[in-house]
Structure 1
Amino acid sequence: MEYIKKARKSAEDHGAEISKTVAPMLDDIRARGELAIREMAAKFDGWSGEFVLRENKKQHLIAAVPEQVRADIRFAYEQVRSFALRQRESIRDFEVNSFPGVRLGQRVLPMDVAGCYVPGGRFAHACSAIMSVATAKAAGVPFVVACSPPRGESIDPAVAFAMDLAGADVILELGGVQAVAAMAYGLFTGRPANILVGPGNAYVAEAKALLAGSGACGIDVYAGPTESAIIADQNADPMTVAVDLVSQAEHGPDSPVWLFTDYRELADQVLDLLPRVIADMPVPDVPRTAWSDYGEIILCADRDELCRVCDAYAPEHVQVMAEDLDWWLDNLRSYGSLFLGEGSSVAHGDKCSGTNHILPTRKAARHSGGLSVHKFLKISTYQEIDRAANKQFSAVASRLSRVEGMEGHARSCDWRLRKFCPGENWDFHVHNNLDG
């Protein structure tokens, strides 16, 4: 493997520094509750209004959304919801008689409360609202709280429409660390969230991680800067590759974009095209910085090496513009979401194709998938062992308990053997005084 262009910086985690800011904020919110939230909202967002979006204000915001925008959001919602419902159907309750007298089963239970964070800042992330809220509702979560930072006098109207369409039960005009903490602790709603989901800046991500670490709630993924990789062979169009790399670099100045190819001529052409494509952007500084600092082009010997390199990077998004797409589908193992063929842009997944765009970053795709209905579900098991089956199961469990040195566990099973199978000669090895 050869670097045609190597990143000048690494997307290293500055979590320790950020944690020094976030941890005291969470402590303050835990101690002072809504009063601390109000002070932080005034300080960071200049917001002194109500936090719970009232119905009349929500309808006013929705009325301001152009009909074509509403139609497009509805289209995206239907695709995402449809895919999420199919995911939900793929995991079911079941029950099995695994042994005579033994009944085992699992129940698939939705979380009681989900908190969905929808970032603000440079962009109005209406599609993120759909990805989180609609997926939670498809999983069967009965109460969903959605938060987004206010932009001026309100949250963005398109975001409000998307949240409402997707089924948010409460919408909070609130952003940042204070927003995720409010959802985790149930402030303004009285309903603490079982799980927090949704992307955000480094402070939001750190707050989610600290809240999960404290046991306050679960989270979806630790969301770092957006990452995108393209695998391309000699048949790929250099301009398509360049345009798609730049399209993802606009996320932020620290968003890595990578090209993995086995065709040197393509690598050279893309390297030549990128500055021109970036210069044509309305705001070129962000993608220019991302490409300069974090962008890479890696030349590989063959497609097997391309797979190894890509899996080592474990990108959030992977586009494949190469022959034999099913081979790549069968052989690539570590990615957040896969986009096969020139017709499949990451932008489609980000906006409306139906798969979820809240995905693992920083190599977390080696061990975790992205947001799905499964994140909002608990798999709870149950068992029933009748008296006759206890003759086998209590005897085995008793012996294994003593192998492990757990005498109390063993006696729990010994008692059942005496109670359910009187008259049997049980050798418990260790004397106890429970004979009745």
Structure 2
Amino acid sequence: MGPGNQFVAEAKRILYGRVGIDMIAGPTDSLILADETADAFIVATDLVSQAEHGYNSPVWLVTSSNELAEKVIELVPGLIADLPETNRVNAEAAWRDYAEVIVCSDREVMAATSDEYAPEHLTVQAADLDWWRGRLRCYGSLFLGEETTVSYGDKASGTNHVLPTSGSARYTGGLSVHKYMKIVTWQQATREGAKDVAAATARISRLEGMEAHARAADVRLQKYFPDEKFDLHL
């Protein structure tokens, strides 16, 4: 099951534990990294395109250019005002209540800021796209260059678009076949190979006050190595 809307999120919350879910997704969010080479009108248009998702959909611009930041802030209200009513109301609220424009000293600080936000959608409109692709770590889906846009991913370009929101891209990626795989582990030991493990287990267990755990290790050492002495207490 994908992210859906707030009603789908509530249904997933209720069913979690009875059925498997991918994640409980929050409002969609988008961040644009742009330097002085970016086109302010395209940056502003892309921000508005994601703000129209809903009144609580954050959009963020992180840039190294004061001039670009000021121009985007100037352009956005007019672009929002030109939208149909429902879209306009959503975008106005999202821009007013959740948008941020952050000016950084250089691209390394920009990248670090982006990784801290860990956006669902991350767009780079800046020089040296290979550097950005290699440096950025935390995002749901990455859109490199002015020639692409999150709207392509939303509607037509084909990349998976069930993505982590609310900063969860710090530790997980989008929905994939791996979400439907169950990972299990197993272990088997030889008597000699587990000797050191058993002694360590006994000591750690007693340190934690779990005597029965310790004795499960003790009994094996006593059975397999009756003539040896072990330090089983800290």
Whether TM exceeds 0.5 here: the answer is yes
Aligned partner of 2:78 in structure 1 is 276
Counterpart mapping for 1:123-202 below 5 A: 198-202=2-6
Aligned partner of 1:222 in structure 2 is 24
Q: Is the 8 A contact 2:27 2:56 kept in 1?
A: yes
1:351 aligns with 2:135: no
1:328 to 115, 118, 132: 132
Q: Tell which deviates more after alignment, 366-375 or 244-253.
A: 366-375
Q: CA deviation at 1:354?
A: 4.0
**Residues 192-249 of structure 1: per-residue CA shift (max 9 Å, x gap):** xxxxxx213334324423543xx33443223121111111111111222122112112
1:264 aligns with 2:69: no
2:40 to 216, 235, 238: 238
SS of match in other structure, 2:153:
helix
Find the aligned partners of 2:195 and 2:32 in 1 and give their Cα distance: 60
1:308 aligns with 2:106: no
**Residues 368-413 of structure 1: per-residue CA shift (max 9 Å, x gap):** 3332333222221111113443445434434443444433223323
Q: Is the 8 A contact 1:221 1:359 kept in 2?
A: no
Find the aligned partners of 2:208 and 2:227 in 1 and give their Cα distance: 23
1:298–1:406 distance in 2 versus 1, CA, 3 Å: closer
Which runs of 5 or more structure 1 residues have no equivalent in the other structure?
A: 1-115, 117-197, 431-436
Instruction: Name the % identity.
Output: 55
Q: Is the 8 A contact 2:32 2:60 kept in 1?
A: yes
SS of match in other structure, 2:201:
helix
Q: CA deviation at 1:259?
A: 1.6
1:413–1:246 distance in 2 versus 1, CA, 3 Å: same
Find the aligned partners of 1:303 and 1:218 in 2 and give their Cα distance: 40
Aligned partner of 2:164 in structure 1 is 360
Q: Is the 8 A contact 2:143 2:149 kept in 1?
A: yes
1:295 aligns with 2:95: no
1:383–1:276 distance in 2 versus 1, CA, 3 Å: same
Find the aligned partners of 1:266 and 1:429 in 2 and give their Cα distance: 68
Counterpart mapping for 1:405-420 below 5 A: 405-420=209-224
**Residues 121-168 of structure 1: per-residue CA shift (max 9 Å, x gap):** xxxxxxxxxxxxxxxxxxxxxxxxxxxxxxxxxxxxxxxxxxxxxxxx
Which runs of 5 or more structure 2 residues have no equivalent in the other structure?
A: none
2:53 to 251, 257, 264: 251
Q: Give the length in aligned residue pairs.
A: 230
Aligned partner of 1:376 in structure 2 is 180
Return the letter of the residue paired with 2:73.
Answer: L
Q: CA deviation at 1:428?
A: 6.2
**Residues 239-273 of structure 1: per-residue CA shift (max 9 Å, x gap):** 22122112112211221222222222222332333
More strand by share: 1
**Residues 273-304 of structure 1: per-residue CA shift (max 9 Å, x gap):** 32333344344333233223333322222223
Q: CA deviation at 1:359?
A: 1.9
1:323–1:409 distance in 2 versus 1, CA, 3 Å: same
Find the aligned partners of 1:227 and 1:278 in 2 and give their Cα distance: 17
SS of match in other structure, 1:382:
coil
Return the letter of the residue paired with 1:221.
Answer: M
Q: Is the 8 A contact 1:390 1:416 kept in 2?
A: no
How does the TM-score come out when normalised to structure 2?
Answer: 0.82
Q: Tell which deviates more after alignment, 265-274 or 372-381.
A: 265-274
SS of match in other structure, 1:323:
coil
1:204 aligns with 2:13: no
Return the letter of the residue paired with 2:58.
Answer: P
Find the aligned partners of 2:198 and 2:116 in 1 and give their Cα distance: 47
Aligned partner of 1:338 in structure 2 is 142
